[in-house]
Amino acid sequence: METESTKANRVLGVLPLGLWPAAAVYATLFVAPLLFFLVISFWIVRARMMRPSFTFQNYAETFTDYGDVLVFTLAIAALIAVVTTVLAFLFAYAIRFKLGRFSNVFLFLTLVTLFGGYLVKIYAWKSILGTDGVLNQALLALGVISEPVSVLLYSVNGVVITLAYFLLPFAVLPIYGGLRGIKEVTMEAARDLGAGPWHVMKDVVLPQCKGGLLTAFTLCFLISAGDYVTPKFVGGGAALIGTFIENQFTIAFNWPLGAAMAFVAMLATLLAVLVVKFMLDWSLKP
Amino acid sequence: MIGQRLRDMFWIGLSLLIGLYLLGPILLVILFSFNESALTSLPLTGLTFDWYVKLANIDYFWPALWNSAVIGIAVSIISVVTGTLAALGLAQMEPVKASRLIYILSLPMMLPALVIGIALLSFFVRLLTIRLGIATVILGQLVVVQPFVSAIVYARLQTFDWAIVDSARDLGASATKAFLSVTLPVIQPTLVGAGLIALAISLDDFIITFFMIGSGNTLPTMVWGLVRTSLDPTINALATMLIAVSIGSTALALKFSRYRG
């Protein structure tokens, strides 16, 4: 086996033989399309037809016309990511330390709802959040409100509630993975040495699941910032940058502008994630 | 003592609330698919299967179901083959190099599906001038699903005992024979699990499918159309089917990879 694979390596270069099919898929269906997409972001549209060119006009237009949408998108995505990560941490913490024999039930619940269906979940909230939806009915019945609340659906609230719901199971798992590595003995030792609950949390628990928290936050932030279906169904006027990018491909047919917007949005999102990672590293330094 | 009690109550209450948040919407969708009323609101008015009958009578439901099945099966089979080969290749490499490569190969999972969809759309339509259809949907989904499969299989290979393969080779088995009679049977439950996860992701994919399919429908694009045009529980019937299939295949996948993997 050794000799055959080294022989193959000499012929095919650095990669083991088995990697070639996957690498071919990656190169032809991911790298090449993205490179071409980058190229057309410098093209122009004349008479509704794309024409090869080399202009920064699309990028300039992205900043002047969609700069505020981009900032709004990043803010909403950050809000959703924070809400989801906090909820996920509380839930994972409860599953790990507080629920005893019921913890498996809740963990199973999380795993099963991972794949409930993306559109199905958005649709579910569309029918729950409306003025005659189940949530308003429940709140009316409980006497919490005296007339239906209309700000739930077709607003930013709808987008936050729905996306946080969709992302929650994805956020719980990495955080739970981090918490599983903490031994109760370590926490007790910290307590015996006089650490209060806050110090146990800050110096024992949080540093251990820092990676999980960052993964959860990043995942939620990336998916929220790139989503366009949720705002379309439950967001009303609250459109994110994805909505405008999609429009360039389905309504406005200005693909070069859409491509430029996509690259700017991705770069901005990446920068935001790096800033958060830096801040988290800094704040959880022992 | 009372403080401890209160704290326990707080955690149990919070977990129940979050659990309700996770499970409630899915249960409501299912519940309303069997409810007589044409409105998706309480109170429940009685049990019916009318919405399923109505769904079956929509003329484009059966083609959509067929398309979803063909795409799902094709994507799972191809991705299990390419993903497993990739994982085997990665297992031969130094761990540090391998993990770096896994990170690079996983990039398609981290990009918004919207970007993958529109980049592939531009690539196929403008550069290659390929007609959109089932084949382009399969290719588009493969990009995203393949990294999942290779990550799952690679994780399994971390605990794989390569000594048994060496024994087979020492006893005269060819590399192919050793793979087929030793490696494959051992990792087979993981491959089935990975295939089912691939199937679940494929069946659920809306965004890439939407840009890749041209005309025609899959079940998720049908949901998209129905949500925009009709508001009766026919959507709930379709949604319930999708929930059943995706949760079913996930549960099966977990069973396969946990108990025998």
With CB atoms and an 8 Å threshold, state whether B28 touches A124.
yes
The 10s digit of each residue's pLDDT in A12-67 is 456 788 889 999 999 999 999 999 999 999 998 887 788 888 989 999 999 999 99
Q: Are residues B29 and B144 in the same domain?
A: no
Under DSSP, is residue A159 helix (H, G, I), strand (E, B) or coil? Answer: helix
Q: Are residues B130 and B5 in the same domain?
A: no
Q: Is residue B77 part of a domain?
A: yes
What is the pLDDT at residue A265? Answer: 94
B55 touches chain A (CB under 8 A): no
Burial classification of residue A5, based on how many CB atoms lie within 10 Å of its CB (0-12 exposed, 13-18 middle, 19 or more buried): middle
Q: What is the mean pLDDT of residues A130-147?
A: 81
How many Å lie between the alpha carbon of B46 and the closest alpha carbon of chain A?
A: 17
With CB atoms and an 8 Å threshold, state whether A117 touches B242.
yes
Block residue for tokens 């759309």: B121
Structure-block tokens of residue A96: 């790990």
With CB atoms and an 8 Å threshold, state whether B120 touches A5.
no
Q: Are residues B82 and B179 in the same domain?
A: yes
Nearest CA in chain B to A128: B25
Q: Are residues B19 and B116 in the same domain?
A: no
Which of B14, B105, B243 comes nearest A22 by C-beta? B105
**What are the chain B neighbours of A85 within 8 Å (beta carbons)?**
none
Q: In the 8-state DSSP scheme, what is residue A101?
A: G
The 10s digit of each residue's pLDDT in A253-281 is 899 999 999 999 999 999 999 998 888 88
Burial classification of residue A41, based on how many CB atoms lie within 10 Å of its CB (0-12 exposed, 13-18 middle, 19 or more buried): buried
What residues contact B142, with CB distance under 8 A and at least 6 apart?
Answer: A25, A29, B75, B78, B79, B82
Q: Is residue B39 part of a domain?
A: no
CATH superfamily of A64-283: MetI-like (1.10.3720.10)
What is the pLDDT at residue B258? Answer: 59
With CB atoms and an 8 Å threshold, state whether A134 touches B235.
no
CB half-sphere exposure, A161, CA atoms < 13 A? 23
ipTM greater than cut 0.90: no
Which of B25, B93, B118 comes nearest A128 by C-beta? B25
CA–CA dist B29, A123 (Å, integer): 9
Q: Are residues B16 and B103 in the same domain?
A: no
Q: Are residues B144 and B15 in the same domain?
A: no
Average confidence score pLDDT of chain A:
86
**What are the chain B neighbours of A225 within 8 Å (beta carbons)?**
112
**What are the chain B neighbours of A36 within 8 Å (beta carbons)?**
119, 122-123, 126-127
What residues contact A239, with CB distance under 8 A and at least 6 apart?
Answer: A69, A231, A232
DSSP secondary structure, chain B, as one string: -HHHHHHHHHHHHHHHHHHHHHHHHHHHHHHHHTBSSSSS-SSP--B--HHHHHHHTSTTHHHHHHHHHHHHHHHHHHHHHHHHHHHHHHHHS-HHHHHHHHHHHTHHHHS-HHHHHHHHHHIIIIIS-PPPSHHHHHHHHHHHHHHHHHHHHHHHHTT--THHHHHHHHTT--HHHHIIIIIHHHHHHHHHHHHHHHHHHHHH--HHHHHH--SS--HHHHHHHHHHH--STHHHHHHHHHHHHHHHHHHHHHHHHHHT-
What is the pLDDT at residue B141? Answer: 96
Q: Are residues B26 and B95 in the same domain?
A: no
A270 touches chain B (CB under 8 A): no
With CB atoms and an 8 Å threshold, state whether A109 touches B28.
no
The residue that leads in pLDDT, A28 or A138, is A28
Long-range CB contacts (within 8 A, 24+) of A58-65: A58/A256, A58/A257, A58/A259, A58/A260, A58/A261, A59/A260, A59/A264, A61/A257, A61/A260, A62/A257, A62/A260, A62/A261, A62/A264, A63/A264
Q: Are residues B52 and B27 in the same domain?
A: no
Structure-block tokens of residue A135: 């949530």
Q: Which of residues 173-192 of A touch B (CB under 8 A)?
A: none
CA–CA dist B223, B219 (Å, integer): 6
Q: Are residues B20 and B111 in the same domain?
A: no
A268 touches chain B (CB under 8 A): no
Q: Are residues B93 and B192 in the same domain?
A: yes
**What are the chain A neighbours of B114 within 8 Å (beta carbons)?**
226-228, 242, 245-246, 262
The 10s digit of each residue's pLDDT in A223-249 is 999 999 999 888 887 788 999 999 999
What is the pLDDT at residue A5? Answer: 52
Structure-block tokens of residue B50: 């009318």
Residue A146, number of CB atoms within 10 A of its CB: 7
- Average pLDDT of each block of 10 consecutive residues along chain B (261 residues)? 79 90 90 82 78 88 94 96 92 87 90 94 91 94 94 88 86 85 87 90 92 91 85 87 84 67 34
Q: Which of residues 123-162 of A touch B (CB under 8 A)?
A: 123-128, 132-134, 137
Residue B164 is part of a domain; what is its CATH number? Answer: 1.10.3720.10
The residue that leads in pLDDT, B22 or A145, is B22
Long-range CB contacts (within 8 A, 24+) of A43-51: A43/A255, A43/A256, A44/A256, A45/A253, A45/A254, A45/A255, A45/A256, A45/A257, A48/A253, A50/A255, A50/A256, A50/B126
Evaluate if residue A1 carries a pLDDT over 70.
no
Q: Which of residues 10-49 of B touch A (CB under 8 A)?
A: 11-12, 14-15, 18-19, 21-23, 25-26, 28-29, 32, 39-42
B184 touches chain A (CB under 8 A): no
Residue B4 structural domain: 1-33
CA–CA dist A155, A223 (Å, integer): 19
Number of structural domains found in chain B: 2
With CB atoms and an 8 Å threshold, state whether B227 touches A128.
no
Q: Are residues B122 and B241 in the same domain?
A: yes
Interface test with A, best of B92, B129, B236 (most A CBs within 10 A): B92
Q: What is the mean pLDDT of residues A82-101?
A: 90
Q: Are residues B73 and B135 in the same domain?
A: yes
With CB atoms and an 8 Å threshold, state whether B142 touches A29.
yes
A197 touches chain B (CB under 8 A): no
What is the pLDDT at residue A12? Answer: 47
Evaluate if residue A286 carries a pLDDT over 70.
no
